Chains A and B, each alone.
Chain A
Amino acid sequence: MASESTPSSASGLTFKLHPLVILNISDHYTRVKSQSHGAPVSNSNGASASIPSPLPRVFGCVIGIQRGRTVEIFNSFELLYDDSTNSLDRIFLEKKQELYKKVFPNFYILGWYSTGSDAQESDMQIHRALMDINESPVYVLLNPAINHAHKDLPVTIYESELHVIDGIPQLIFVRSSYTIETVEAERISVDHVAHLKPSDGGSAATQLAAHLTGIHSAIKMLNSRIKVLHQYLLAMQKGDIPYENSLVRQVSSLLRRLPAIESGKFQDDFLMEYNDTLLVTYLAMITNCSSTMNELVDKFNIAYDRHGRRGGRARLHESYGL
């Protein structure tokens, strides 16, 4: 958990990954896998029995923006892999790059991706080939094996570093940590698809329920993480675990931030937001009431309308239940 709070990498760059990239790679892989397996098998049992061949590897390019020390990977696209020369098709890459430049003019090629369980020696060749486009490309590796035991995302980001091994300077892959970055719209659609919430209509009640469920699970996560931290600190106090200064320092800085909520300025801002929300809700209520009132008046009018109607209609107001 310590590595999550301080994203570190050998070269000091911070990596931010967008969920779109992850879904892109997964979709590419699923397509290639299902195409290479001929006729579709509709139940998972059949599929697992008919895969004796090794899982296919897919390759592609990742694009995004690099601002100073932060590398943000936004999107990705597929590439052709030439098995004989163990390299990526260069012309294809350039064609695709042009196309993507037209729609997303800000994005540069930041690196490449592939699927598999571990970085391999042959990958270094591909990595080197890309070095003339981007001087230090990143290598995103997705492990498509579905392992329910692992609770971590099977995506790793590798950078290349020049190390002197046995007197020869060689490039080796070094793992870097990354954070998941998202824009609001992305988060909502990922949330939506992840939990397949009711998309259209549903009453306001079901939408509210769905929203609250999301918040509830988020709070549950927060709670469990805090509990884990708590246990950890208790164990350290008792002496079960060796004392780790850096971690304790981080925790204490976190705790010291909490009193900020009590300060005057925070309360002012908070109350202003709160009042704004209440005002808008009040306005909505008033509009609702006035529309109900309008309907009531309409019904009243119909019941008591004397122009051109018989007298028997005056009794109608009883049936309206006014």
Chain B
Amino acid sequence: ENSPAPLPERAIYGFALFLGSWFGFMLYLIWAYVPETWLFSLGLTYWPQKYWAVALPVYLLVAIGIGYILLFGINMMSTAPLNSTHTITDNYAKKQQQKKFQEEAIPALRDIPINEVNRMFFLPEK
């Protein structure tokens, strides 16, 4: 079953991820800062150009910044315009079936059409 409780397996996964991320970070620092000649003298020659040690974080940050603007734009584009029927109804409401009215029972839940809602809100006079 699924429970959010801390289990021994989860503690081990967490620690493995912690060690892995520390190792990855140290590897990145070594690659970015240690001069190429020292790495060559150790025999490690097949590493990517150090240009990428600066380029990749910049790419990532610019992508995150553009992502904010992109998400805002996508939201605005998918908002239904004022003259579309999506502001009033949708497929589920069109296909809903009328349930039989039972005496002394709470009426079944359904999507009430907009003209009835308007009548209830705006028409009755005090």
A and B associate: no
